[in-house]
Amino acid sequence: MIGPGTQLEQQRRLLLMDRSRPGRRGVAMPGLDVPEHDLPSADLLRADLPLPEVSQLEVVRYFTLLSQLNFSVDTNFYPLGSCTMKYNPRINEDVARIPGVAGVHPLQPTEGAQGALELMHRLQDMLAEITGMVATSLAPLAGAHGELAGVLMIRAYHHSRGEAQRTKMLVPDSAHGTNPATAAMAGYDVVSIPSDERGNMDLDALREASDDNLAGLMITLPSTLGLFDTGVLDVVRIVHEAGGLVYGDGANMNALMGRAKLGALGFDVVHLNLHKTFSTPHGGGGPGAGPVCVNQTLAPFLPSPVVSEEEGEGGSWFSLDDPQQSIGRLGGFQGNFGVLVRAYAYLRSLGEDGLKAVTDNAVLNANYVMQGLRPHYDLPYDRTCMHEAVFSARRQEAQGLKALDVAKRLLDYGIHAPTMYFPLIVGEALMIEPTEAETKETLDYFIEVMEHIAGEAMEDPETVRGAPYGAANTRLDEAGAARHPDLRWKPAS
Ligand SMILES: *Cc1c(COP(=O)(O)O)cnc(C)c1O
């Protein structure tokens, strides 16, 4: 077990060391100064609960070592397209930890939670303003959950008008996988609409699919190609003329905030990913929030609860309401309050001008990277991009390499991989989203590394294929890691 080695080798060794010893404790409890309570009934108690027995220092070391094996936005450039791994300003964390905010209980009576409800009400209004809509529900707990809320509202709307025959949901072929999945979950027949050679939606195909059975269209703007669909007004008109509604996937608002409102373009419902655009640390599965913002048509159908305000003599009074024809509840309580607080703090600290600056810088950074990489990688849709740029490793494929190899090689230079193999319509896709927070120096470094890897791919493809060389884990069996994860400590038997 012992021996010298690189820091990484030492970390791996120390992590594998079994630190558990019988009787070792992390905390020393003070003597009991309250009446002793009876234990729960015997069938609820386990005689044997094999947990590691470790001191506090050992626990701290173990988890700190583990965290150091990871890439994170706090340590490394993280251009993971569509995921918006932007810097989360620490003030938002401070606000979420204010005791009155962190300790508020979801079952607290309304009288005792007016401050929390007021915060939610203000956030509803701000998100409606940003999207150009009239009402918001903060209930959905993730992006895909917001999508489901939106599509169920569209369904409830058609049913309320006696138009249950509208069973078709259109989804462009560039869409995020959650879009067709959501439509199918809501019971719709999903019809895919192709993109044209410029990356816009094919209007002829859209016209053809827009008939009396049309329920709606799910569109992402900017599209997952990182492009602003210049035909979007025609798209909205065609869907509306056929009696359908337009759903906007607003998971990535980093290119539009303060500059363009989806409601003004005619969208009927939009979901937002607060954990992407509005600064909640994410990855690893949560928590998140996917509020839905709607126009007048869909406002009665919003999921409950929504927070409403009544002006009285003593000032405003905030309460939790069920909209008239609500699609109902999507989960327990009032949504992920901690995520809502972070988004509120983020919006208040930036203000309107700050939000515009975020948008401008996000788009500028993406275009800067796009221009820097153009000579070295294939750019299937060669036009000004929005918050992200989608390249293809097709040129490197000619050397027997894959997008995966380029992504793995980046790890050796301290850079997290871009999103790969998505959108599906780009072969060997590398989807790069630098976000607004990065400096020009970081972007220049990234461009230099990518150029270097492109050179290696030509001269020494074997080196690229064997990457990464300096990571704790190299090439994983990804299906195995997802299906049979080994995540917990097991006692030595
Ligand atoms: C991330 C993302 C989603 C899904 O959001 P989750 O919070 O992961 O459910 C949907 N659409 C787009 C375009 C996204 O980038």
- C-alpha gyration radius of the chain: 25
The alpha carbon of 177 and the centre of ligand 1 are apart by a number of angstroms equal to 9
For 460, the token pair is 């020494």
For 106, the token pair is 């979801």
Is 219 within 8 Å of 189 (Cβ atoms)? no
Query: To 5 degrees, how large is the angle CA 212–CA 214–CA 216?
Result: 150
Nearest residue to 52 via CA among 19, 16, 12, 13:
19
pLDDT of 179 reads 97
pLDDT-based confidence at residue 325 (cuts at 50, 70, 90): very high
pLDDT of 57 reads 96
Judge whether 202 lies within some domain. yes
280 ligand 1 Cβ < 6 A: no
- The chain-wide mean pLDDT, for the chain, equals 94
Residue 292 has pLDDT above 80, yes or no: yes
Judge whether 2 lies within some domain. no
The alpha carbon of 13 and the centre of ligand 1 are apart by a number of angstroms equal to 37
Nearest residue to 454 via CA among 357, 373, 345:
373
Mean pLDDT value of segment 427-451: 97
Residue span of the structural domain in which 151 resides: 90-350
pLDDT-based confidence at residue 251 (cuts at 50, 70, 90): very high
Judge whether 173 lies within some domain. yes
Q: What is the pTM of this model?
A: 0.92
In angstroms, rounded to a whole number, what is the distance separating the alpha carbons of residues 406 and 432?
A: 13
Judge whether 255 lies within some domain. yes
Judge whether 331 lies within some domain. yes
Residue 259 has pLDDT above 70, yes or no: yes
Q: Which tens digit of pLDDT belongs to each residue from 399-421?
A: 999 999 999 999 999 999 999 99
252 ligand 1 Cβ < 6 A: yes
**For the purposes of burial, counting CB atoms within 10 Å of the CB of 147, is it exposed (0-12), middle (13-18) or buried (19 or more)?**
buried
Residue type for position 308? S
The alpha carbon of 143 and the centre of ligand 1 are apart by a number of angstroms equal to 5
Residue 285 has pLDDT above 80, yes or no: no
What is the total count of domains within the chain? 1
Judge whether 162 lies within some domain. yes
Work out the percent of the chain whose per-residue pLDDT is above 70.
99
Distance, first Cα to last Cα, the chain: 20
254 ligand 1 Cβ < 6 A: no
CATH number of the domain that residue 189 is part of = 3.40.640.10
pLDDT of 1 reads 63
Q: Which tens digit of pLDDT belongs to each residue from 70-97?
A: 888 889 999 999 999 999 999 999 999 9
Judge whether 371 lies within some domain. no
pLDDT-based confidence at residue 282 (cuts at 50, 70, 90): confident
Judge whether 170 lies within some domain. yes
Q: Which tens digit of pLDDT belongs to each residue from 155-200?
A: 999 999 999 999 999 999 999 999 999 999 999 999 999 999 999 9
CA-nearest residue, atom 7 of ligand 1: 143
251 ligand 1 Cβ < 6 A: yes
